[in-house]
């Protein structure tokens, strides 16, 4: 039973639980298991039987798959307030399709699939809300799949930056990369050394500046013109210095903090 008022509030605020009625919410809280884990803890294994789903309360969790040749493919980074493994409860064979590992100290709760399914059967309206939540996640995955299959490595990283702009109309922006390069590279299906070369090319082209984990985009317009959804995409990974055009504004950079991948 979850006793902490703050923990109860975080759980009840989650979209999967929020739309349940009060009685159903209390039943879920009564069955919740709260736990804390150190950095690098393996929470679930790919292929393991799945009988619970998870809500991250604090810290970040990496979801990844292991290929037949032992390669790790990062699927998603889960942030506080987000869930993972919830879709498994609807699968005929309930096994985890991914591994989950903590990127930092993590505090989370797990909730039973069987009880959640029972409550959804009793409350069709909540079931519709859950379908909406899962549809959003599905569209996100489809967008990522399109990027990975239709874009080259340079385009993938450029779009990774563009997608993290809160406002594409700003003149310039600073993007804080909260994850190590190796995880960003894995998320974009490339090797870390490939990502380093791409960042160097974009810097030489004047499209980005690199300050530790902060990527400054001196001209958002130029980056969008080169790689944006409605612009002329680069045709290869070879971005030259001549591909960047001069910025036509004198405004100072605006800081944009990126909180998710």
Structurally, how many domains does the chain consist of? 2
Contacts of 232 (CB under 8 A, 6+ apart): 225, 226
* Residue from 220, 200, 219 nearest 210 by CA: 200
Rounded Cα–Cα distance for residues 49 and 93 (Å): 9
**117 and 157 inside one domain:** no
Last residue of a domain, one of 149, 172, 191: 149
Range of the domain at 12: 5-149
251's tokens: 């405004």
Least confident piece of the model among 52-66, 77-91, 122-136, 167-181:
122-136
Last residue of a domain, one of 119, 149, 179: 149
Q: What is the pLDDT confidence band of residue 179, given thresholds at 50, 70 and 90?
A: confident
137's tokens: 């996640």
What would the pLDDT profile of 204-259 be if each residue is shown by its tens digit? 999 999 998 899 999 999 999 988 754 344 444 444 434 433 343 444 433 333 33
Residue 149's pLDDT is what? 65
**In this structure, is residue 261 part of a structural domain?**
no
Least confident piece of the model among 24-33, 84-93, 137-146:
137-146
Residue 198's pLDDT is what? 95
CATH code of 29's domain? 2.60.120.10
Rounded Cα–Cα distance for residues 101 and 105 (Å): 10
92's tokens: 């005929």
């Amino acid at each position: 039973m979850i006793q902490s008022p703050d923990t109860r509030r975080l759980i009840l605020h989650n979209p999967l639980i929020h739309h349940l009625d009060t009685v159903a919410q209390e039943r879920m809280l009564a069955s919740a298991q709260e736990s804390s884990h150190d950095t690098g803890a393996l929470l679930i294994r790919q292929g393991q039987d799945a009988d619970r789903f998870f809500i991250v309360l604090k810290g970040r969790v990496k979801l990844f798959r292991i290929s037949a040749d032992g390669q790790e493919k990062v699927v998603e980074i889960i942030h506080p307030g987000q869930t993972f493994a919830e879709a498994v409860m609807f699968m005929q064979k309930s096994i985890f399709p991914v591994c989950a590992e903590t990127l930092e100290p993590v505090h989370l709760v797990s909730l039973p699939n069987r009880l959640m399914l029972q409550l959804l059967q009793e409350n069709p309206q909540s079931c519709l809300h859950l379908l909406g939540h899962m549809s959003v996640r599905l569209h996100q995955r489809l967008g990522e799949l399109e990027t990975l299959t239709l874009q080259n490595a340079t385009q993938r990283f450029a779009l990774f930056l563009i997608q993290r702009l809160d406002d594409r109309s700003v003149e310039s922006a600073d993007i804080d990369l909260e994850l190590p390069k190796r995880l960003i590279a894995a998320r974009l299906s490339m090797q870390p050394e490939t990502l380093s070369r791409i960042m160097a090319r974009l810097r030489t082209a004047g499209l980005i500046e690199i300050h530790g984990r902060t990527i400054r985009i001196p001209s958002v317009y130029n980056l969008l013109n080169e790689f944006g959804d409605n612009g002329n995409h680069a045709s290869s990974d070879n971005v030259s210095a001549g591909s960047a055009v001069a910025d036509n504004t004198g405004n100072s950079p605006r800081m944009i903090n990126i909180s998710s991948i």
